[in-house]
Structure 1
């Protein structure tokens, strides 16, 4: 069930039997020579939609732009400042809370969002604490589609040390599962991209000229993406159901 394809009476009816909602969150940023710019938003979106369809859970519109300033050296990347993303997450949660949602599950596709989302959650809890309100804010959960146990095992089986940390064959395979017409198999040089830390966008571009970090996305395939999709749906469905039952 998708929020943007529902009417307000549909949502009112949904809240009579569930107060949970999935919010896909990602980024709009480069993913190497053969990865889609929307990769980090596409991955959690397709997984969340599948979970919603399988168990009748409500799925919010995807938050497509994330904290990705370090990718701005590559054309097409769009980023929020950390303070902007904190405000976006805060407003989303408080909007949903006003309507009676009590379990807000963010399914993430971008590692750069993690610290900022945790800061947003701290701000949300602080709002409630300093206001002196006694009514509880919604329970909040932030999960990465690629960190579930099944996905981790499968990624190691498929790609071993070639997974890397950005423009990975796992995430690119999942986007190709979702959009097979966009698959762009190619040989890359060097096969395995370098790895190191980075600071701003200019530093990132100097260190990683083709956008990859430690990965070999030439190993990506539609078939691998389908297997990773099913693994992540199983991981996420299990985790979401435990989350909404926890209270």
Structure 2
């Protein structure tokens, strides 16, 4: 079962710490996701993945850290971006609080690519500074493989699935929060090789797409979303399980 920290009383947390000392800390963002999805897409994804991971591992999931690092989306109204120092300080404070209560393994993961470099740089520092094992679960390549693999089952190409607000993220939210998905007609954005366009993205997503979409949301449906969620949760849970077993055996 998942121990959802923010929904528990302190005595319940105290009791559950007798069962597990592992906590998953999701990080996300508040940023534009095209004309059809809410700013909270990455936060929704982090919430759902965090709970499913915790359910698989019978561990805690902490409240999602957000906003995050979203400078490249600031051309689109509503986006909120934290400075690098601020974001890292918030994650550090989260982890220090958790360690103070007796957590021994802290698995960070992100549903937002803009946070990746920050948590990958910070995790080793926290691991060295705190009386706990702190690590990042999985990597961008593994998550993208889970995403594209799930969408391929439905005949959706990697370019259509997209790296941002495309068919994949749209399908995810269709499954978890359908009332937040607006009409996808005419929302197709940049459909191409995102790796080749990374230089443009670094200058701001608006350099690549007028509507903030990378992919084709019109190809999305809720059935894809459930497969996508399960594959991504399974990938991250497996990565966390392997790392905690390695640490405990060391």
**TM-score scaled to structure 2, two decimals?**
0.83
Once residues 111 and 216 of structure 2 are traced to their aligned partners in structure 1, the CA distance between those partners, rounded to angstroms, is 19
The CA deviation string for residues 17-42 of structure 1, in whole angstroms up to 9 with x for no partner, is 21101112111100112122111111
Aligned in 2, Cα 1:148/1:105: closer, same or farther, shift over 3 Å? farther
Pick one of 1, 4, 17 that aligns with 1:2: 4
How far off is 1:50 after superposition?
2.5
Task: Give, in angstroms, the shift of residue 91 of structure 1.
Answer: 1.2
The answer to whether the Cα contact below 8 Å between 1:3 and 1:58 also exists between their aligned partners in 2 is yes
- Partners of 1:97 and 1:138 within 8 A in 2: no
1:127-155 C-alpha deviation (Å, 9 max, x unpaired):
x3xxxxxx843232233697175444213
Tell me the residue number matched to 1:132.
Answer: none
Structure 1 residues 199-214: aligned runs within 5 Å: 203-213=204-214
Shift of 1:78: 0.7
Match for residue 154 of structure 1 among 144, 150, 153: 150
- In the other structure, the counterpart of 1:110 is 112
Could you tell me which runs of 5 or more consecutive residues in structure 2 were left unpaired when the two chains were aligned.
Answer: none
Matches within 5 A, 1:9-158: 9-125=11-127, 128=129, 136-143=131-138, 147=143, 150-158=146-154
Whole-Å Cα distance in 1 between the matches of residues 201 and 85 of structure 2?
A: 17
CA–CA distance in structure 1, aligned partners of residues 96 and 7 of structure 2: 21
Question: Which aligned pairs between 1:188-203 and structure 2 lie closer than 5 A?
Answer: 188=186, 192-193=190-191, 195=194, 196=197, 197-198=199-200, 203=204
Judge conservation of contact 1:173–1:221 (CA < 8 Å) in 2: yes
Cα pair 1:36 1:172 within 8 Å, conserved: no
Count of paired positions: 238
Which residue number corresponds to residue 184 of structure 1?
A: 182
1:81-106, Cα deviation, whole Å (9 max, x unpaired): 11111111111112111222111112
Unmatched tracts of structure 1, length 5 or more: 129-134
Q: CA RMSD in A?
A: 2.5
Question: 1:116 Cα deviation (Å)?
Answer: 1.0
Structure 1 residue 229, shift from structure 2 partner: 1.7
Q: Contact (CA 8 Å) 2:201, 2:207: kept in 1 or not?
A: no
Asked if structure 2 preserves the Cα contact closer than 8 Å seen for 1:25 and 1:106, the reply is yes
CA offsets 1:103-123 (integer angstroms, 9 cap, x no match): 111231100100011222243
Q: Distance in 2 between matches of 1:48 and 1:40?
A: 12
